[in-house]
């Protein structure tokens, strides 16, 4: 297999999608701090994986693996059922890996072959909060009982920001498992990877009564002879004169990287497709001018990458 590495970097936009343990009546969103003093919202890769797999389960593209509890008391763990996994190599166990405990100091492990980064906010958090109360319930209860009722109040940290995340897949490891002796047909490997890509086209996340749309506003990626998340640190969003711009210059530098000599002197751009929602970014036209493979919508670009997955397996 000549091209083993799939990588796709996405730009999406949403309100907070992941929360830490709060204090008092304040719900605290997950955040990270940078050396320049800025604070960025983020959503964990675990939360992202949950939303991806739920979409795939809900749309009958993947089958939920059977689970069981191993051990007892406070040392009990919930894991895949080894007997079921021996009979069927479920998609989620294949792509996202597993660790199965079997008594003391025994475990079977499979590293993830599909790896997600955190969703990292690209705009700093400015301290915005949403004030909440249940005044409607309080008024209804007061009407029903005749007694004055004070509503409950709460505060939730909030922000509306662009996020970036990257999906990486080791194509040569999909469908192969030494622990249970699985080796899937090429067509099934292709189906599993392409359905995962398909999920990112329609992704959303349900959180605190909201449904956040995570369909991509911009994507860059492809199938490469070497494995690397080429665009994780080069595709971003900057603001100028009140308008969002994609970081085209840093992206161009990543596209111009020359791959190792065994690839024949080709560059990253030779394997890359990109897509953008035209009216979302002020420099969408500059993005499209990066190369022939950048004249697509995000959905079209992901379809092109899916076709390259198929070619990589069959080539």
Rounded Cα distance between 11 and 96, Å, is: 22
Rounded Cα distance between 4 and 172, Å, is: 5
Mean pLDDT of 37-49: 96
- How do residues 147-204 score in pLDDT, each as one tens digit? 988 999 999 999 999 999 999 999 999 999 999 999 999 999 999 999 999 999 999 9
The pLDDT confidence band at residue 70, using thresholds 50, 70 and 90, is confident
Question: Taking the model in full, what pTM does it have?
Answer: 0.94
- How do residues 274-307 score in pLDDT, each as one tens digit? 999 999 999 999 999 999 999 999 999 999 999 9
Spell 88-116 as b/e; 16+ CB within 10 A means b: ebbbbbbbbebebbeeeeeebebebbbbb
- How do residues 230-274 score in pLDDT, each as one tens digit? 999 999 999 999 999 999 999 999 999 999 988 888 999 999 999
Residues 6 or more apart whose CB falls under 8 angstroms from that of 82 comprise: 100, 102, 108
pLDDT of residue 101: 86
If you compute the radius of gyration of the chain from its CA atoms, what whole number of angstroms results? 23
pLDDT of residue 264: 80
Mean pLDDT of 206-218: 95
């Amino acid at each position: 297999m000549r091209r083993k590495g799939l990588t796709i970097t996405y730009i999406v936009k949403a309100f907070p999608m992941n929360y830490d343990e709060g204090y008092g009546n304040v719900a605290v969103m997950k955040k990270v701090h940078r050396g320049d003093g800025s604070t960025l919202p983020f959503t964990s890769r675990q939360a992202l994986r949950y939303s991806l797999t739920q979409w795939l389960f809900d749309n009958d593209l993947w089958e939920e693996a059977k689970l069981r509890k191993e051990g007892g008391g406070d040392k009990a763990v919930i894991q895949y059922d080894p007997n079921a996994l021996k009979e069927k190599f479920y998609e989620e166990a294949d792509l996202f890996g597993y660790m199965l405990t079997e008594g003391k100091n025994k475990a079977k492990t499979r590293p993830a072959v599909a790896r997600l980064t955190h969703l990292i906010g690209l705009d700093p958090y400015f301290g915005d909060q949403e004030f909440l109360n249940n005044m409607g319930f309080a008024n209804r209860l007061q009407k029903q009982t005749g007694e004055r009722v004070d509503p409950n109040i709460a505060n939730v940290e909030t922000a509306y920001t662009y996020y970036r995340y990257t999906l990486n897949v080791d194509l040569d490891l999909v469908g192969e498992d030494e622990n249970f002796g699985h080796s899937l047909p090429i067509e099934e490997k292709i189906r599993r990877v392409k359905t995962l890509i398909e999920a990112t086209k329609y992704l959303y996340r349900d959180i605190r009564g909201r449904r956040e749309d995570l369909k991509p506003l911009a994507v860059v990626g492809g199938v490469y002879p070497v494995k690397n998340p080429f665009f994780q640190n080069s595709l971003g969003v900057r603001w100028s004169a009140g308008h969002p711009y994609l970081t085209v210059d840093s992206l161009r530098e990543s596209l111009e990287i020359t791959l190792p000599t065994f690839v024949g002197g080709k560059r990253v751009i030779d394997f890359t497709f990109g897509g953008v929602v035209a009216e979302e970014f002020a420099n969408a036209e500059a993005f499209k001018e990066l190369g022939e493979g950048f004249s697509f919508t995000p959905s079209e670009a992901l379809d092109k990458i899916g076709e390259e997955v198929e070619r990589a397996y069959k080539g």
